[in-house]
Amino acid sequence: MTERTRILLVRHGQTDWNRERRIQGWGASSLTRRGREQARALGRHLAATYDIDRVVASDLRRTRETAALLRDAGVEPEPTFQRAWRERDFGRLQGLTVEELFGGYPEYAATSGAVAIDAEPPGGERLRDAYERVIDGWEQLCTDADGETVLVVTHGGPIYFVLGDVRGQDVLTAVLDHSQENCAVNELRVGETVEVVRQNETV
């Protein structure tokens, strides 16, 4: 791994469910007009600021739409899509508002402590499993991206997990300590150690 390796983690543009504070998980929510504008602005910024070698994206609808708009705005590499970068799957609880989910099912809230790590939504995945899936993808990317600048188009949860892992935090602390705006940029430089250069920056 060379000191030139740079990984950019960005969250997708705004969706209707973001606006309504609904749990999206693996749901096929699409971008709002504002979300499309955010993605185009981000694409112009990234194209002007970075020489991007590769684009990797979650294969869910909202990240596919965001990646396509980034490319239209000047980010040249054609994206490849990986399930590793998906948000946590909340199964049959997807579509509930944040208040409905954590008010009615407090065992899924990170503030509930250790019980939240292994609480499994019906038809969904445990927080532990989502974390391990994302970190496996992150570690593989760090191995593969020697000397490259790689853009990853993903979701809030996976970005929390990566930032927490880099900082030596457990999964609950990672979830509680971080936040991400739609189309925010996180830049990490990867060498013998990983440096967070910028975090949750919007354009």
Active site residue ranges: 12, 87
* Residue 113: closest CA among 25, 160, 175, 159: 175
Q: In the sheet where 149-154 sits, what is the strand order?
A: 80-82, 54-58, 149-154, 5-11, 185-190, 194-201
Distance between start and end Cα atoms, the chain? 29
Q: Quick count: other Cβ atoms within 10 Å of Cβ 165?
A: 18
